[in-house]
Amino acid sequence: MKFLQKDYRKPALSKAFKTAKSIFVRVENKVAKISLFDLPADSVRVKLKKEFREEIFSRLLKEKGSFSKIAESAGLNRGQTARRYFVERSGMPLVFLIKIAQKLKISEKMIQQNVTELRSIKSKELIKNPKLPFKITPDIALVIGGVLGDGGIEKKKCRVWYFNNEKQQIESFIKATRNTFGEVSFAFHRSISGTPCVIFPKIIGIILKTTGLKDGNKNYQNTGIPKILLNSKDKKIKISLLQRLFDDDGTVSNHHSNRCVSFTSPKITNLNEKIKEPKILLELKEILNQFEIKSRICIAGKNIKENGEITRNWEIRVTGKENLQKFYGKIGFGLERKQTKLKAVLDRYVEGLEFFPRNEAKNHYITLMKKLCIKKIELNVKNVSKFCKRNDRHVREVLLTLTKEGLVSRHLIGNKFVYKVIE
């Protein structure tokens, strides 16, 4: 009785046994974990170490007297026998394991230490030597980010899939999945267009759905970011999530009129439906704020269908030299080519050049021109260009726009125009 001696005298059951049918993620020692008994008991099958299993049934037989009485006390359906689970060729249902653990007062920790295989009911695909309890780490954040981005969970089979043309992305997704859950096999496929795809078994989908993910692709359109990641105080977890999301669905723009890092989330609505920002963009904005990175949410384009539905491409954008520098240094891209492109964007900024946000640029130019007036410096193109560190052509366009809007007046003195701020 070497396995169960310490547990036999425990008077109370763990909270997981008492609420075994509920799905939740708990926090132990400040590290969030997904326990074996947090999984849906009627959907999971487990296999135990031989010596541990034999000791359990030895105690059950001592108490009940026969396998038929063990089955009766556990409420097994017709066709299910306790002897079958004693032999355990394919493991035993989690719901049965919970019932006998209740009867014998075996701790949750002891059970998890002796699990050798984990699979879904009626499935041959499994996790060998599962890393129970599954810890919420940067690795699982990467996996969840991949499922939210270029992956998904099948609606019927509940298998997890991930598409990506980048070999690096596929390999890191596989590695993170195995680091999180244990020794698990996967299938490799290609889409009709030839995009590489990896598919993991149903048991992985079952586990991930306990975090709040749902069936289908682009999970975030309905669920947003799982609370276990959103509420985490570990910044490494959030960095891992952001990197995977921006690697999959993010873009770096390096045009002189639009230098930014953006993440796109399409949303389908009806004509009369109220326009509302996608949940995931609001949550991304919240996480970026935690890294002191300012961002804004906008509509980048829309497509009206014949049935009256409108697909709006919402974007969250990180703009401005300071914010882009923080994104590059604190978060960055996992993909080298995107990180290199962002570095090229930052290199285009002139040293010491102040960036004017698009919607606030006019006010900034007016403020700077007033400073020149205080210093009694003539407001012409060259002086304003030198003071603002912009080229003459750009400043000429700005001054022309401000003149048309009645914010400044223009006067021809000699062979050049001089400007005056209208109070």
Instruction: Note the pLDDT tens digit of each residue in 115-151.
Output: 999 999 988 899 999 999 999 999 999 999 999 999 9
Q: What CATH number matches the domain at 136-225, 3.90.870.10, 3.10.28.10, 3.40.50.10860, 3.40.50.300?
A: 3.10.28.10
Q: What is the pLDDT of residues 301-351, one digit of tens each?
A: 888 877 778 888 899 999 988 999 999 999 999 999 999 999 999 988 766
pLDDT at 60: 86
pLDDT at 33: 93
The CATH code belonging to domain 246-347 is 3.10.28.10
Tell me the average pLDDT across 1-10: 49
Q: What is the pLDDT of residues 179-211, one digit of tens each?
A: 999 999 999 999 888 999 999 999 999 999 999
Q: Please, where in the chain does CATH 3.10.28.10 lie? A: 136-225, 246-347
Torsion of CA 380, 383, 387, 393, to 10 degrees: 70
Give the residue among 193, 194, 143, 191 at the shortest CA–CA distance from 170. 143
Q: What CATH number matches the domain at 358-421, 1.20.1250.20, 1.20.1440.130, 1.10.10.10, 3.40.720.10?
A: 1.10.10.10
Q: Please, where in the chain does CATH 1.10.10.10 lie? A: 358-421
pLDDT at 351: 61
Nearest-10 crossing angle of helices 94-104, 50-64: 60
pLDDT at 296: 95
- Whether 70 has a pLDDT exceeding 80, the answer reads no
